[in-house]
Chain A
């Protein structure tokens, strides 16, 4: 009975993992990159590499933000301010601009495309930081990992959600089916074909298991109101906006302007007041609704640095008089639970060391998914070879060929495409219309070519070609960086700009790893496969990637 359970779990593990494995690899890889979203964005805007912003007090930064927004976002219905942090010393301001006369707001909303304005501002002066090239930067990977692309966000999130659910099933059934979790805890035996792939899959899964469980489960929780909306709809029928206003505090999104123009109260004293309430903890974000109107309100949320929760206390002020309107401490059990789950997934609380540990565990997750889908092909191949020997019919079966091709395009192809995205960032001319979308098109074009080539020739030399191209592209990024206006390694290290230097060093390491993999693939011939098969099968020896 026990073996029966184990076998059925093995079946479940195999198919739940394989079916969605390639989407999962993309989600894991892009999610991993998202831990360094700000750093990637910084690297991708080389115009910003020389900017050095001294940290300033929060009230100075708030004044600077207000000045910038009064110039640029005047008449807008909402303003957003993200206060400087250690990782990002600039003030980020955003605004929903005044609706155009020709195009009513309702119309724009119906299209689901509301235009936001945004700018990075010097926290000391309120001057906009030198015009950087337009790019999606690290946000592209962040969005891709749960929204996908070239499709409505709604469908993208459902697809990713279904895949994440499969992932959760695969992890849990994998634990049941793995007989020797503790006996094989530290075991890795390289150079032994299928055994080595299984060892690598087990090690990357077991040694980072708490992370894999956490990230998959909390990933589903981040979108739970979309996947399981019944509770929300029962209490807030037809008014999801009101729910989010209750959840996040502050005025409802559809608050109506009074029509009486009144100047906004200075933000700096309110920041000081909020910090006093929070024992000196800094303000993280501000949302100002209806600025310049008599009904203006200001919502301030505490910065995420202590604890795990993304649900931080917030305070709402009257935008005209500066009177404190309400305080939300968000300490109810349900809110804290969701806040901690959400917080764990996005890891915004993590300082540099904890972030590094998250990144390492996430890389283990990528390795787990990649070795998993590769293992399926490695396991399946001998069966196909045997069947072919007996029947003398055509090549390997369609299923194996398909998996081989998808593995190639999904793993080697994706890494190649990510490198191409960074190259496109530097080589697509600055100032071209629709530049951010062009970078993204380069990414998907490269990925599509790699995937088609992988499906057409799912063989060893194609692996080597794609690994070498991807490896070279990554390894040469630190060379491309100073040549196209960025701060090169020598400069960034000398100036202690570790965000930029870190990107270059990780790219270099990543490129070296891909090149090493390509080299190893060249060395391992089929010497270890049973000899008699080789004589008859010399034509397909390349298949055994």
Chain B
């Protein structure tokens, strides 16, 4: 694999994990309130979708890691990617709560673009 491909796949793994954590945290009332204001709550049918989306993001990240690093190192890399993405997301929720939605959509877009670049490369 070329360095470019490996880099794109790392970005895709990180971005999809970050997007997944964004969705999962929005399904928690404390963080939904932190992002959308006190007293607001997600529509009840939105909750399972957010959780599903979140789990999907993390699983996509796992697939990308396994593809990028192979079936042995891939699991190790996934643990590292999850740690990095979760630490970043926790800091975002604390210090840039307003940007969480934008970052979430950005992460989804970045996942898409980097995967596309990886496929084309």
Measured CB to CB, the residues of A under 8 A from B are 183, 185-190, 203, 207-208, 210-211, 214, 306-308, 344, 349-351, 353-354, 357-358, 360-361, 364
Contact = CB atoms under 8 A, between A and B. Distances in A.
A307 B28 CA distance: 38
25 contacts: A183-B30, A185-B86, A185-B90, A186-B21, A186-B31, A186-B89, A186-B93, A190-B94, A203-B90, A211-B79, A214-B79, A306-B70, A306-B72, A307-B72, A308-B73, A344-B76, A350-B73, A353-B77, A354-B73, A354-B77, A354-B80, A357-B77, A357-B80, A361-B79, A361-B84
Contact of B87 (A207, A210, A353): A207
| Contact residues of A: prevailing secondary structure | loop
Interface in B9-39: 10, 21, 25, 28, 30-31
B86 A349 contact: no
A354 to B, nearest CB: 5
**Residue of B70, B81, B83 with most chain A CB atoms under a 10 A cut-off:** B83
Contacts of B82: 207, 210
**Residue of A188, A350, A353, A358 with most chain B CB atoms under a 10 A cut-off:** A353
A353 B10 contact: yes
Given A188-B94, A189-B94, A207-B90, A361 B83 contact: yes
Contact of A186 (B69, B70, B72, B90): B90
Interface residues of B, number: 27
**Residue of A183, A186, A187, A307 with most chain B CB atoms under a 10 A cut-off:** A186
Contacts of B94: 188-190
B69 to A, nearest CB: 7
Given A186-B21, A207-B90, A360 B73 contact: no
A211 B77 CA distance: 11
Nearest to B91: A188
Contacts of A210: 79, 82-83
Nearest to B21: A186
Contacts of A360: 80, 83-84, 87
Contact of A308 (B72, B80, B81): B72
Contact of A357 (B6, B83, B90): B83
Contacts of B80: 211, 354, 357-358, 360-361
B76 A187 contact: no
Interface in B65-121: 69-70, 72-73, 76-77, 79-84, 86-87, 89-91, 93-94
A231 B90 CA distance: 46
A207 B79 contact: no
Given A210-B79, A354-B77, A187 B90 contact: yes
Given A353-B6, A353-B10, A360-B84, A188 B79 contact: no
A186 B73 contact: no
Given A207-B90, A208-B83, A211-B80, A187 B30 contact: yes
Contacts of B89: 186
Given A187-B90, A354-B69, A354-B73, 9 more contacts: A186-B31, A186-B93, A188-B94, A203-B87, A208-B87, A307-B72, A354-B77, A357-B83, A364-B87
Contacts of B86: 185-186, 207
A228 to B, nearest CB: 26
Contacts of A361: 79-80, 83-84
A448 B22 CA distance: 45
A357 B81 contact: yes
Contacts of B90: 185-188, 203, 207
Contacts of B31: 186
Contacts of A214: 79
A368 to B, nearest CB: 12
B62 to A, nearest CB: 13
Nearest to A351: B6
A357 B6 CA distance: 14
